[in-house]
Amino acid sequence: MFTYFTETIVLIFLGYAVIYPLLLWITPLNKIDRGFYRFNMGLSCIIGALGIIGFHFISKSLISEIYLWIWLLLMLFLTAIYWNSKTINNYIISTISIIGCIVLAKILPNLIPSVNPTGALIVILMNSMITASVFFSMILGHWYLNVVSLPIRLFKHSIIVLSFFYLLE
């Protein structure tokens, strides 16, 4: 029953942490408080770190683990830079996420060696986008409880993105 439990958890956590920052495009910085960006980037770093720790216990390749740590350090560095910054560049955040997708593609054969890696990567990224969209919409919805004048358009866009990935799946 638990044969691939750790591998599954690692894929869920890493996929989530890699994809989640891409959803920040839904909420431009000029429409939402910087604290929203801080919380979400910090959340990605924590979930990514948990995925890497899980990967450490099942990994047979030190190089793959080093790739993951480099990606996480880039994410932590970017989060630290943007923590008190007045401007946040979504292009740079997206670049780090794309690097994470590449790293995920590199480590995938270590986690599930007998599967077509391209097809598995597509499925993992799609499922990660659904999971990340659900949590992003939930967090954004809770953000509306704290910020009175937040435009409802942001929440509507997050639900549209979530619905799109549900339909695509």
User: What pLDDT, on the 0 to 100 scale, is given for residue 102?
Assistant: 94
Mean pLDDT of 37-55: 94
- Of 2-6, 70-74, 118-122, the one with minimum mean pLDDT is 2-6
Domains in the chain, number: 1
User: What pLDDT, on the 0 to 100 scale, is given for residue 9?
Assistant: 92
Mean pLDDT of 33-62: 91
Domain around 162: 5-168
Look at the block and give the residue holding tokens 């499922």: 127
**Residue 140 CB partners (closer than 8 Å, separation 6+):** 26, 27, 36, 154, 155, 158
Q: What percent of the chain has pLDDT over 70?
A: 98
Closest CA to 78 of 63, 61, 95, 64: 95
- The band of 39, judged by pLDDT with boundaries at 50, 70 and 90, is very high
User: What pLDDT, on the 0 to 100 scale, is given for residue 87?
Assistant: 85
Q: Return the structure tokens found at 4.
A: 């691939």
pLDDT tens, position by position, 111-161: 887 778 888 889 999 999 999 999 999 999 888 888 878 888 888 999 999
CA distance 160 to 164: 6
Look at the block and give the residue holding tokens 């970017």: 78
- The band of 1, judged by pLDDT with boundaries at 50, 70 and 90, is very low
